[in-house]
Amino acid sequence: MSLPEVLEGALDAPALEALMDDIAATGGLLAVVVRAGRQAAPPRGPSALPEVRAALLEGRVPGAQLRYRFEGREWWDTVMAAGPGRWRVVRIAHAGT
């Protein structure tokens, strides 16, 4: 069994906005999952992306997971607040999805 590819990075507000723009541009956004503390809301559709972008930038939610398809693979980007104006992102590529 092989483990999925995992990438990790740090974002400031312009980089977070660029990430959201890039994901929207793929046209492959599958779901948006909002994190509220230790709980996660049920997955929502691609139309939730602008609302989640604003909520992350304004600090109203601690994190969100963006699930999308790009170049034939499914990716999950989990974005978590890491301090004022900073976020941590963990990207996982799911093979065979």
Residues 3-25 have a mean pLDDT of: 92
Using DSSP, state whether 27 is helix, strand or coil.
Answer: coil
Q: Which helix (H) or strand (E) holds 53?
A: helix 49-57
Residues whose CB falls within 8 Å of the CB of residue 24, separated by 6 or more in sequence, listed in order: 49
pLDDT digits (tens, 9 = 90+) for 33-63: 998 777 788 889 999 999 999 999 999 999 9
pLDDT digits (tens, 9 = 90+) for 77-86: 999 999 999 9
Domain count for the chain: 1
Task: State residue 1's pLDDT score.
Answer: 64
* Domain that includes residue 87, residue range: 5-94
Residue 76 tokens read as 């999950």
Task: State residue 69's pLDDT score.
Answer: 94
Instruction: Report the Cα–Cα distance between both ends of the chain, in Å, rounded.
Output: 15
Residue 9 tokens read as 């990075």
Tell whether the model's pLDDT for residue 96 goes beyond 80. no
